Amino acid sequence: MTELRQRMNDAMVLRGLADRTRESYIACVLGLAKHYRPPPDQLDAKAIQAYLLHLITEKKLAYASVNQAACAFRFLFGTVLGREAARFDIPMSKVPKRLPRVLARDEIVRLFAQCRTLRDRTLLETVYAAGLRLSEVCALELPDIESAPDRSCIKVRQGKGGKDRYTILSPHLLESLRLYWRTYRPRRWVFPNRAGDGPLFVQTAQRMYRAACDAAGLANTAGIHTLRHSFATHLLEAGVDLHSIQRLLGHGHISTTMRYLHLAQGRLTGTPSPLELLPLH
């Protein structure tokens, strides 16, 4: 790591930025450095804006990825290098608002049935049953599964934003986890990597999900995060209130959870049309 990137990393550590945020910001600065010959601290706002345009028009990156790069550059120039914000007025791209993909209940059943191994199925069941993020399920450790009858839950350590929380441990999932443990005998992490000396790589978990989707004939299912969206939507359809779902998901704002109102089919299909309320007959 160059001296500049080390300074940036140290500044992020001091401000308590999450590990994945630091990794993403450093990767954005590294991409900038590879694109231009001069080091990033010698670039001006015009060069930064040209690079962001390059990411959109030539790299074809999603606007969310471009926004992340813009945030990384703001942090580098504004916080690390101490340059005036007015000199680096980097516009943020407007991210198109799209509803996330949600699997129907029968699709979830088909997905689990087509998992290649018991480990694959147990991991995907855990994501869906507890509403976990990909990084959260990979980082689970055995003590995080609290199975006492009077305290049955899963502890999520240092989720998004560096926050701990508790989420559901269903009896069915607990049975699956116990069968999985008897078969594989993990020692520290619930889902360790192949060497057993660390947590499962997120790319490996994504491949498990994609392989199961392909075997089940499920198209346009995006990534494994679809199971988390399905968890929230199915709870809402079952009558669970938004604030409880917000806490289970670890959302900082209720507005983030409210988007699942648009996905709950039961609430939509069960709503009468105003035409039915008119005295037409």
Q: Rounded to the nearest 5°, which phi and psi values hold at 151?
A: -155, 70
Res 246: pLDDT: 93
Catalytically active residues are 133, 160, 225, 228, 251, 260
* 95-109 as b/e: b if 16+ CB within 10 A: eeeeebebbeeebbe
- 192 beta partners: 199
Contacts of 253 (CB under 8 A, 6+ apart): none
Residue 273 predicted with pLDDT over 90: no
Which tokens sit at 34?
């590879």
pTM of the model: 0.72
Helix axes 225-237, 118-130, angle to 10 degrees: 50
- Report how far residue 65's alpha carbon sits from residue 24's, in angstroms, rounded to the nearest whole number: 10
Helix, coil or strand: residue 30 = helix
Which tokens sit at 212?
């199961």
Which tokens sit at 182?
């008897």
The H-or-E segment that residue 206 falls in is helix 202-216
- pLDDT, tens digit, for every residue of 78-90? 889 888 654 555 6
- pLDDT, tens digit, for every residue of 44-83? 888 888 898 899 888 888 888 888 999 999 899 888 988 8
DSSP per position, 1-18: --HHHHHHHHHHHHTT--
Res 87: pLDDT: 58
- Report how far residue 52's alpha carbon sits from residue 5's, in angstroms, rounded to the nearest whole number: 19
Which tokens sit at 169?
């441990």
- pLDDT, tens digit, for every residue of 192-229? 999 888 999 999 999 999 999 999 999 877 899 999 99
Angle 244-249-254 from CA coordinates, rounded to 5°: 65
Res 86: pLDDT: 46
* Side chain identity, residue 196: G
- Report how far residue 260's alpha carbon sits from residue 20's, in angstroms, rounded to the nearest whole number: 25
Closest CA to 238 of 248, 225, 252: 248
The H-or-E segment that residue 110 falls in is helix 105-113
Q: Which domains are seen in the chain, by residue range? A: 3-88 (1.10.150.130), 105-268 (1.10.443.10)
- The answer to whether 190 touches 140, Cβ cutoff 8 Å, is yes
- Report how far residue 186's alpha carbon sits from residue 101's, in angstroms, rounded to the nearest whole number: 32
